[in-house]
Amino acid sequence: MQRIVITGMGVVSPIGNSVEDFRANLFAGTCGIGKVRFPFRGQEVSFPGAAIKDFSPEEYIDPKKLPMMDRVAQLAVGAAMQAKRDAGLAMEGDERVGAIIGTGAGGQNTQEESYMRLFDPDGSGRVHPFTIPRLMISAAASQVSMALGVTGPCFTVASACASALHAMGTAVAMLRCGLIDTAVTGGAESCLTFGALRGWEALRVMAPDVCRPFSLGRAGMVIGEGAAMFVLETEEKAKARGAKIYAELAGFGMSSDAKDITTPDASGASRAIANCLKDARLDVADVDYINAHGTGTRINDAVETQAVKQALGDHAKKIALSSSKSMFGHALGAAGALETLATVLAVRGNVAPPTVNYLEADPECDLDYVPNEAREMKIDVALNDSFAFGGLNAVVAVRKCS
């Protein structure tokens, strides 16, 4: 079986708009969660949120093209351009290069803006002429293909919070079977709009301040935004061209709960972990660290803890496990990509990122969650979990390359 490696990485996130800044803030335990504010009926309404700061899309995109792009596509292109430059690989016109991008909701900023224009009694009632090309869920993938000159397979994978990992797993499968030679893959999301946040608020799963995964007293999740992209190649191709190799994307597993649209199931999540280990030809004892889904809700964190124990048995007590959502929030369809980046950096640096905002242990969450401070430790193999609404589960394995 072909080994698939990562040769390029890029990111735009609430804790950094480059891999270098992301790495520094990740291991420092920097929390990118703050407040996002909106005018509503003559008042200011605020929500906890993890927003990107100081992102200038003009660095990556012709300013003339920006009006045709929703923010989610701008973030995707920014991260993808970084990854391409990092990989040092020409892609223009190469039909053996594919772009497989995950996103959960598409152009939410465009959708909100359109509704505001339509229903504002003092407005024109007309929407932007590029409303549909901006909000369609495939827009980010299309804009990435155009920005990078990718002429091979290009499409979007949408499976809620597992979108990015499902996209990356699909890219791995396409590389292994020889459909493509190179993949640009990852995820992007930008849903910090008034309407979307009100929708999440209505579910009663939003924290009032910060995200405290696995901690006693956790009160819910915080929505974030961002994009992380990777260039994947076969190890043989990467070595032949003398590419820098960050890590091996060693395995991918998935499953469906088939039980409930919002409540996770430990057995479904456990099967995804087991399937990933089987695909990577890894034993349970090989796992050193897990970058968890860890949303900060009472039910999710307890169920994920159960799933890890079901999948790893007694070894679960011997590993480190942490949630990076405590720092950059839940980026929905982009979450798995941002957290895979955190996982790759953990493997390369032999450092487990912390779970920040952690207060004290919860009897329902009784594993080692690396509370509040990063930890130097040997990490040769790490997993990254994404367990989405609808019971859609995906897990990737990252292995150190010698």
Dihedrals φ, ψ of 98, to 5°?
-120, 155
Closest to 254 (Cα-Cα) out of 381, 164, 155: 164
The yes-or-no answer on residue 293 being catalytic is yes
Give the Å distances, CA to CA, from 76 to 7, 63, 111, 276.
18, 16, 18, 26
Sequence-distant (≥ 6) Cβ neighbours of residue 61 within 8 angstroms: 69, 74, 77, 78, 147
The answer to whether 251 and 359 are in contact (CB under 8 A) is no
Q: CA-CA distance, 306 to 314, in Å (whole number)?
A: 12
One of 31, 154, 166, 293 is an active-site residue; which one?
Answer: 293
Using DSSP bridges, classify how beta strands 381-388 and 289-291 pair: parallel, antiparallel or unpaired: parallel
Q: What is the largest CA-CA distance in the chain?
A: 64
One of 31, 166, 276, 330 is an active-site residue; which one?
Answer: 330
The yes-or-no answer on residue 161 being catalytic is yes
Using DSSP bridges, classify how beta strands 43-49 and 154-157 pair: parallel, antiparallel or unpaired: unpaired
Closest to 102 (Cα-Cα) out of 228, 250, 262, 290: 228
The answer to whether 353 and 338 are in contact (CB under 8 A) is no
**Helices (DSSP H) in 216-334: which residue ranges?**
235-240, 266-280, 298-312, 325-328
The answer to whether 176 and 4 are in contact (CB under 8 A) is yes
Q: CA-CA distance, 64 to 58, in Å (whole number)?
A: 9
Note the residue count of the chain: 402
Give the Å distances, CA to CA, from 317 to 281, 284, 312, 314, 368.
21, 12, 9, 6, 7
CA dihedral 102→105→110→114, nearest 10 degrees, is: 160
The yes-or-no answer on residue 177 being catalytic is no
| Structure tokens belonging to residue 63 | 């300013």
Q: CA-CA distance, 156 to 109, in Å (whole number)?
A: 18
One of 161, 211, 276, 365 is an active-site residue; which one?
Answer: 161
Give the Å distances, CA to CA, from 151 to 73, 94, 157.
18, 6, 18
The answer to whether 101 and 138 are in contact (CB under 8 A) is no
Instruction: Write out the catalytic residue numbers.
Output: 161, 293, 330
